[in-house]
Structure 1
């Protein structure tokens, strides 16, 4: 089978197609023939070695797929080596999905949908009536977080995005306005995956008891050392978030995912689909993602 692998850490140029033996399932595992694999920004950190945990080399990246089981079920699955024609998934990490659900929509709801859900519910502990700012609001996580924040009762949702087209998309998805710093009024919750200067601007714009949730560093710049006095003056907090350990908690995976699938099925949640690439062009997918040329869910197709 064909898979995408990197043998050393680096930029998109280290990703290359290789021929590997088909994986063999062990007890408790299911073999999946991949229809589509999701691409996440975290995959670029895995590739360059800056991820929160280091992977052993060589490594096949990818954490999510839509595909078929040997008995014909169409499933959405969390996996470890998703950039491949066939993958293994733990039986507990499989969710059956309808035949008419586009693969890109399903994949948008897994890593990115669950991240958006837990950012608001688990990390920020959003309270109805609060003001929310979403950075990278046209991206996979941000586009869903804008919609979910409104559905979870936010009084006002402001979107930050890097281009006029992306800002227009965020407004179409339900954002009340565009976040330009300094904000006209402080924010109760800010969701930030960018870091760098944007993190500092957001921290200075928190309301009393506000929460700044950091879940990435797309800017790839060192964070400014944080003076606790900046937080004490507002009773504010900076909350770190990582999806992987979050999903180990009881009820953290299947129940939120079913809610996201139900919201999508009846049209109350709109996953934004981005470009699709042949599996062999994973390098180009990473290049476009890093250059911020993509919007919504990016997918690879064997």
Structure 2
């Protein structure tokens, strides 16, 4: 089969196309002919050697695919080596996908959709009427978190984004306001966007100085949920006294541990598919790149030149 792999850590240039043996199908698994492989920012960090190092090199990256199984069903699910023309899925995790969904729309619900759902429901425990700040509101997770926050009853949703086009997109998706998300002047912009009031919830995958600034805008009993550090800046220590003074909470979220708890995957994904089918949320299908152009896709993803779910097409 055709695959994209890397034999050393680095930038997009370390990716190379290769002909490799088909993956081995184990008990309880199923082989799929890949229609599209989903891309995530975590892939960029893994290729660079800064995240979830593989057991051995060379390694085929990619954690999610959509394709056809031996029964002809169009299915998607998690995999270990997705940047390839064939992949193996755990049969218990396989989700049947309607043909009406573009591959990017469907795959957006798997990692980004489940992450956004659990950020709001399981971690932040959003209550009706609360205000929510979504960092990177035009990104994969952010664009769905903006929409889900409104569906789940948020009183006001404020998105941050780096450019005017992305801020306009966040407003089109339902954000009540969209502001520049850079650290300088962050607090003033966010509080003004919330009617000069502090906010109840911040969802942050930027980290660094933006994380620090986000802590300053929380209302009493406010929650900041961190689920990544795309800025690449060092992690910031949090003074417990700063939390107790405002009855604040800082929580972390990572999707991967939930995969061993199917009760936290199936119902959430079912709700996401229903919300999509009824038009209440709109997963953003982003760029579609040929598998052979994986390096260009990774470079665009790392350079924040993409919007929505980016996929590779074998």
Q: TM over 0.5: same fold?
A: yes
Structure 2 residues not aligned, in runs of 5+: 181-185
Q: Matched residues in 2 for 1:225 and 1:90: separation?
A: 38
Mapping for residues 237-276 of structure 1, pairs under 5 Å: 237-276=249-288
Q: Is the 8 A contact 1:133 1:179 kept in 2?
A: no
Secondary structure in 2 matching 1:233: helix
Match of 2:215 in 1: 203
Mapping for residues 1-302 of structure 1, pairs under 5 Å: 1-51=1-51, 53-56=52-55, 57-179=57-179, 181-182=186-187, 183-184=191-192, 185-302=197-314
Q: Deviations over 1:259-282 (max 9, x none)?
A: 111111111110111111001111
Secondary structure in 2 matching 1:200: helix
Q: Deviations over 1:103-132 (max 9, x none)?
A: 111000000000000110111111111110
Q: Matched residues in 2 for 1:270 and 1:189: separation?
A: 22
After TM superposition, give the deviation of residue 10 of structure 1 in Å: 1.4
Give the aligned CA root-mean-square deviation in angstroms.
1.1
**TM-score, scaled relative to structure 1:** 0.97
Q: Is the 8 A contact 2:203 2:224 kept in 1?
A: yes
**TM-score, scaled relative to structure 2:** 0.94
Q: Deviations over 1:59-101 (max 9, x none)?
A: 1111111100112111011111110000011101201111222
Q: Matched residues in 1 for 2:132 and 2:281: separation?
A: 18
Residues paired across the two proteins, number: 301
For structure 1, which segment, 243-252 or 209-218, has the greater mean C-alpha deviation from structure 2 after superposition? 243-252
After TM superposition, give the deviation of residue 12 of structure 1 in Å: 1.4
Q: Matched residues in 1 for 2:259 and 2:70: separation?
A: 26
Structure 1 residues not aligned, in runs of 5+: none
After TM superposition, give the deviation of residue 8 of structure 1 in Å: 1.4
After TM superposition, give the deviation of residue 250 of structure 1 in Å: 4.2
Q: Matched residues in 2 for 1:100 and 1:226: separation?
A: 46
